[in-house]
Chain A
């Protein structure tokens, strides 16, 4: 079997899993829906590995393989095929996506065990993985857009999984609408590229672009900016980022899978994939780098003050994706993608750990009410701490190598990029700080009642309420189930979290500067035409960068230690003294309010206007009422003749006869 047939298998397994679960869910016993879903993703992962092996068998210059299953449309000028592209980049993405997805499926088998919508959840998850794999395997913009849209739909379905919760459905709608904005940008970009180059498949477009466009050509910059719109909507960067914190309404495995490891990285993948276009339009690439940097700073600042555990992790995701976007925008494709991979590992791990903690808290997510779980939940504590260390880029963890490599590349570009790099280092300090803020607040300190209960032997149970608004719920379908699962009690969860913890620690080994560059060489065939290919920073500068990064990380962790463990109450003092700043950060830089005022309210007013004036008064009253009024008046007029009065009819008859006779008289 060739690499491309393995590529089709990668797509076929989750699709099959989806169909089986969706069609047969009523007859599937117990938790088998979960195992079927997980098995499907495992099949996908194994197929990715097989594709990888087969791909490496090809010669180095022959590793971009396209296979077409079917032609959608065939015109005189070009064809649109249902085609997949199996090359190092897509295989890399497949491995990351399917691998992490498999572990999350296993985690969910236990975590979603008591939920009435269990089978539905796994159907949706499989659908999501299928869409994501379709997105990364697509060989042309059409299939990319199909996968893009499917992923958006899957995200909506999964965010509003607990559909009877009002906040969840609103969040799902918000995510979907913002994703659609991105979709529109992407589609228009595809149109522009089609018009200029006459092709839609990647390899064709990238080649034709070299000939068609001069450097920084207006149309190309426009197309790239539109691609960025799509990428930023999906990856939750400024200004289309407001949906990601709200998306935490979904179940924790959803947050782990979609909003940490895979879907939000689709934008990064897209920018990396379209790198020839971005290199031809440096303006767009620079815009992308700047926005990535702004986002990572903004998100890190918000994560410092937010108190909902999942939202801290969400903002951290936003921030880390900023790093990835920065990486692939400055030409550090290998580094950016490496950070994508390591981020997938430690972020999924963090979310899984958070899920465990929230389970122990019987659904409460507020960090203000957590504390002292270290003794009660040792496994969760260890894995969570590992994840936090990786996030903070603690020396020798995976995150350390990946994040600092990105920053090293940025510095290497020189000029204005120094500013971006410095901002990056600042945010790295903040990242380390808030990562350990989470660890110290949740696991250290005084044990809260739930933790004591847990040590005593049973998981706390509270009334089911909406964690955001406090309104009470039940545990029937559409709401979370009555059971709360923690990793300590549940083998599947441990089995899922352990490999990630290991990977978060050791995955850095694939890209130690100067020692190994496995990832770079692997991704080489895709990126060899890049102009930055040979401008990697020297070993020395990389090591310096790593050193600086490590130092920052350690300092920030130390600071967090002091603030949260030694000097209690300091944070409260700071909050009171800098109340305005704190308010600004706690309100997420007032973006939601801004969008509400600029977009939502005018649209609502327009809609009301449309309903009242246009629909009711104009259409109903004037057009419909007017037309019927005219007809009615006309017929009333005609009805007046129908008096039913016999003699009047006779009179008319006679009148007609008289006229007729007169006519004949005159005519003859």
Chain B
């Protein structure tokens, strides 16, 4: 099986995730698309690991999963806090970083 196909697939998933991040306005969905991108990365890592016959890639992918989990936790916590404060759940409304 050609490893390249896995890589191409991973590229597609990444691109779809990126487009989703840019396009969607619900922060929950933005986080989901971020997950997509992370998963695409994982796939690529594991594909390369298979290609080199090295377990390092899988370890990397495992750690990425851990990080994704942490990030989801915090992200969701923020969204919950936003909801509690009665702020609109919309990334466009969150413009406090405006200079």
Taking Cβ atoms with an 8 Å cutoff, the residues of A that contact B are: 639, 641-647, 650-651, 654
Contact = CB atoms under 8 A, between A and B. Distances in A.
Given A642-B99, A644-B98, A654 B91 contact: no
B96 interface: yes
A222 B35 CA distance: 94
Contact of A647 (B92, B96, B98): B92
Contacts of A644: 94-99
Contact of B97 (A642, A647, A650, A654): A642
B21 interface: yes
A646 B99 contact: no
A647 B90 CA distance: 11
A639 B95 CA distance: 14
A651 B91 CA distance: 13
B91 A646 contact: yes
Interface string B77-99: 00000000000000110111111
A646 B92 contact: yes
B22 interface: yes
A249 B96 CA distance: 70
A457 B22 CA distance: 108
B31 interface: no
B99 A650 contact: no
B92 A645 contact: yes
A647 B95 CA distance: 10
B18 interface: yes
A643 B98 CA distance: 5
A642 B96 CA distance: 10
Q: Which of A641, A644, A654 has most B Cβ within 10 Å?
A: A644
9 contacts: A642-B97, A642-B99, A644-B94, A644-B96, A646-B95, A647-B21, A647-B91, A650-B22, A654-B18
- Chain B contact patch, size range: 10 to 19
Given A644-B95, A644-B96, 4 more contacts: A644-B94, A644-B98, A647-B91, A647-B92
Contacts of B96: 644
B21 A639 contact: no
A644 B99 CA distance: 7
Contacts of A654: 18, 22
Contacts of B95: 643-646
A332 to B, nearest CB: 86
Contacts of B94: 644, 646
B45 to A, nearest CB: 17
A651 B97 contact: no
Interface of B: 18, 21-22, 91-92, 94-99
B33 to A, nearest CB: 10
Nearest to A646: B91
Contacts of A641: 99
A651 B98 contact: no
A639 B91 contact: no
Give the 7 A-B CB pairs with smallest separation, nearest first: A642-B99, A644-B98, A644-B95, A644-B97, A646-B91, A639-B99, A650-B22
B22 A647 contact: yes
Nearest to B96: A644
B11 to A, nearest CB: 10
A97 to B, nearest CB: 74
B22 to A, nearest CB: 6
A650 B31 CA distance: 13
A650 B94 CA distance: 14
A651 B20 CA distance: 11
Nearest to A657: B18
Contacts of A646: 91-92, 94-95, 97
Contacts of A645: 92, 95, 98
Nearest to B97: A644
A654 B20 CA distance: 12
Q: Which of B94, B96, B99 has most A Cβ within 10 Å?
A: B99
Contacts of B99: 639, 641-644
Q: Which of A641, A645, A646 has most B Cβ within 10 Å?
A: A646
Nearest to A643: B98
A654 B92 CA distance: 18
A647 B92 CA distance: 7
B34 to A, nearest CB: 10
Nearest to A638: B99
Nearest to A639: B99
A643 B18 CA distance: 20
Nearest to B94: A646
Contacts of A639: 99
